[in-house]
Amino acid sequence: MAQVLFVDDDLLTLQLMTRVATILGHEVVAIASPIEALIVLEMQPPQMIIVDMQMAEMNGIQFIQNAHTSAIGKTIPIIVLSAERDGREEREAREAGAVAYYTKPIGFDELQSIIETYATV
């Protein structure tokens, strides 16, 4: 079982990802605000973070940069989900420190694979 922090300001996506990960047996903290997620990251460090790229308060790259300012945030793998199939965006996310970049939508099996791969990094 992995401890996963999901960050996405789209509540439907957040609920769906939470439900699937919970069914798969993982412990999930789901937060719609990237600013609040940065606070939770310090108080309850997860094994991994899955963050949306396009959010109103800050984008995924800004979230990664902010997360990496703390010692705890530097040690947690961050995976970016995006609706964009843009190589430039993926490159920027990886340069900011994302360990992986996936395009939405992702399926049940793909989410399980992502969690299994990166929760143990």
How far, in Å, CA of 76 to CA of 114, rounded?
A: 14
Per-residue pLDDT of 17-43, as tens digits, reads 999 999 999 999 999 999 999 999 999
Gyration radius from the chain CA atoms: 13
Q: Tell me what pLDDT residue 121 has.
A: 53
> Are 42 and 72 within 8 A, CB to CB?
yes
Q: Tell me what pLDDT residue 107 has.
A: 87
Per-residue pLDDT of 43-83, as tens digits, reads 999 999 999 999 999 999 999 999 999 999 999 999 999 98
CA distances 20 to 14, 16, 28, 81, 95, Å, are 10, 6, 10, 15, 29
Nearest to 77 by CA among 20, 5, 25, 29: 5
What's the pTM? 0.94
Q: Tell me what pLDDT residue 86 has.
A: 77
The phi, psi pair for 3, rounded to 5°, reads -105, 115
Other CB atoms within 10 A of residue 45 CB: 15
Q: Tell me what pLDDT residue 84 has.
A: 83
How far, in Å, CA of 43 to CA of 69, rounded?
A: 15
For the cut 90, the answer to whether the pLDDT of residue 85 exceeds it is: no
